[in-house]
Structure 1
Amino acid sequence: MSDSAGPESTVPKSGSAKGRKTAGKDPGKAAARDDGAPRDAPKRNPREAAVEALMRLAAEQPWNDIEIGDVAREADLTLAELREVYPSKGAILGGLARIIDRAVLAEDNSDLADEPARERLFDVLMRRLDAMTPYKPALRRISYALRGDPLSMLALNGVMLNSHRYMLAAAGIDTEGPLGRLKLQGLVIAFARVTETWLDDDDPALARTMARLDKEIRNGERFMERAEDARRLTAPFRALGRAFLDRRRSGRREAGSRDEDSDPAAAI
């Protein structure tokens, strides 16, 4: 804005279309529009609104008492709008996991590049717990409720597998190869144990949580070392088994070919 514009000027600083439309109109009305929420302001991202609504409700009441309609009202969404983004409360929990993933992955991990894998993973998972902290009261109630629901726990395990694949990637640890799935599932189980400790750890320094995380990572390292040793020891037997199966399949194909040659109808 130039120096010639007085303090009472209502001409917006921006040269946007909206600014041009409000220029020259009644100053009181322009101020009302600028100070208050515009009537045509877009709603918040409905996915995030639903997640935040469910977390607020879960922090105040039992998980099993929360209905989909309650979430829609709390999020200021219609049922149709909520259904467009999430089919169930469990799916909304999956949405929370993605929000946590993004918060962790958006951080700069370049300072960890020269650290051992154990230290990189420790740091990434502590960042994940930090991102979960605003939702801790809700997660505490949800955790207790889901312990008696094996089907929900199984579905949540699938969500956590996807999340922790990215946590391992952020720590520079691969999840491919023969033992990749085992490594990934092991981390999901280990972090679930750490989360149980974290939910009951009200110490701002999180000493118990960090000790548990360090223990779980070290146990995981030892387990994967044994798994890798076992894989190397059994490699010759797996090779023999594959060779045997290949010979059997080859034999069946040859037998089928001979049967076709001896059957006149096979030529028709």
Structure 2
Amino acid sequence: MERSLDTSLNKVLASDKILMAALEIAQARGWANVRMCHIAAHLNASLAELRELYPDMNAIADAWFSYALAEMLSVSDKTLRVFAVKERLFIVITRWLDALDVNHRVSVQMIRQKLYAVHVQHWAPMIFSLSNLVHWILDAAMIDSAGRQRKLEEIGMTLILLEMLRVWGEDNTVDQIKTREFLKKRLDMADRTMRFLFLKCNPKGMDAQPTKKVKL
């Protein structure tokens, strides 16, 4: 039997084809109305071939957000190192948003689909994905704090992301200006709060790098 998707030899290419087809169909139908059979027909493939790579539509949505995460993590450390913490966070987060903004409307629909009350099976994985995103953002921004400060940063970043996504979901401005301004204000506020809480413990400031202890 001839396979229209070469899932055995090039899974990455086949996965990308399925993802791009799903996004294209969603632009016309809306994400909630895309079915695996639509994608199979679009690619002249069988459902069995699609299932080898994506067990359901939620897995395709996860692949899209995974792509955005990869784009976010491609920021060079050398590029970021010259900026302050809040500026590094702004660059990293907006890079993630820019990757999603290519399919802004569909990305918003994917998130809302995961949040539907009847889709309880998506809630736990979504919480894990959000936590994972927060950790990657902090690491990409080269924030290597520990202890109580790290816990507060993780909580604060989670709240900022949730608020930002609410704004971003309704943002129709060019280059996501509304979301960018909102994010900048929230990061400024968070930076002032963290400096107030921890500056006395770290007189060199929040951007100071830990010094290495040399064994004699």
- Output the TM-score relative to the length of structure 2: 0.70
- Indicate whether 1:57 and 2:35 are aligned: no
Contact residue 56 and residue 138 of structure 1 kept, 8 A: no
- The corresponding residue for 2:16 is 48
Cα distance in 1 for partners of 2:40, 2:155 equals 33
Contact residue 198 and residue 209 of structure 1 kept, 8 A: yes
Q: 1:91 is matched with which residue: 51, 59, 66?
A: 59
Structure-2 change in CA distance of 1:75 and 1:165 (3 Å): farther
Q: Please state whether the residue corresponding to 1:206 is helix, strand or coil.
A: helix
Q: 1:163 is matched with which residue: 133, 139, 163?
A: 133
- The corresponding residue for 1:206 is 176
Partner amino acid, structure 2, of 1:108:
S
Structure-2 change in CA distance of 1:85 and 1:130 (3 Å): same
Cα distance in 1 for partners of 2:156, 2:47 equals 38
- Indicate whether 1:121 and 2:89 are aligned: yes
Q: Please state whether the residue corresponding to 2:174 is helix, strand or coil.
A: coil
- Indicate whether 1:191 and 2:161 are aligned: yes
Q: Please state whether the residue corresponding to 2:142 is helix, strand or coil.
A: coil
Q: 2:102 is matched with which residue: 121, 124, 134?
A: 134
Higher Cα radius of gyration: 1
Q: 1:174 is matched with which residue: 144, 159, 162?
A: 144
Identify unmatched segments of 5+ residues in structure 1.
1-40, 230-268
Identify unmatched segments of 5+ residues in structure 2.
1-8, 200-216
Contact residue 51 and residue 96 of structure 1 kept, 8 A: yes
Q: Please state whether the residue corresponding to 1:45 is helix, strand or coil.
A: helix
Q: 2:35 is matched with which residue: 55, 58, 67?
A: 67
- Indicate whether 1:80 and 2:65 are aligned: no
Contact residue 161 and residue 185 of structure 1 kept, 8 A: no
Cα distance in 2 for partners of 1:91, 1:181 equals 30
- Output the TM-score relative to the length of structure 1: 0.59
**Alpha-carbon RMSD:** 3.1
Bigger mean CA deviation after superposition, 175-184 or 207-216? 175-184
Partner amino acid, structure 2, of 1:92:
I
- Indicate whether 1:217 and 2:192 are aligned: no
Q: Please state whether the residue corresponding to 2:76 is helix, strand or coil.
A: coil
Cα distance in 2 for partners of 1:85, 1:181 equals 36
Task: Provide, for residues 132-187 of structure 1, a one-character-per-residue CA deviation record: whole Å limited to 9, x for no partner.
Answer: 11111212333444443362344223223223322221110137645645533542
Contact residue 65 and residue 100 of structure 2 kept, 8 A: no
Contact residue 46 and residue 81 of structure 1 kept, 8 A: no
User: Runs ≥4 in structure 1, deviation > 6 angstroms?
Assistant: 41-44, 225-229
Contact residue 31 and residue 110 of structure 2 kept, 8 A: yes
Q: Percent identity?
A: 22
Q: Please state whether the residue corresponding to 1:104 is helix, strand or coil.
A: helix
- The corresponding residue for 2:210 is none
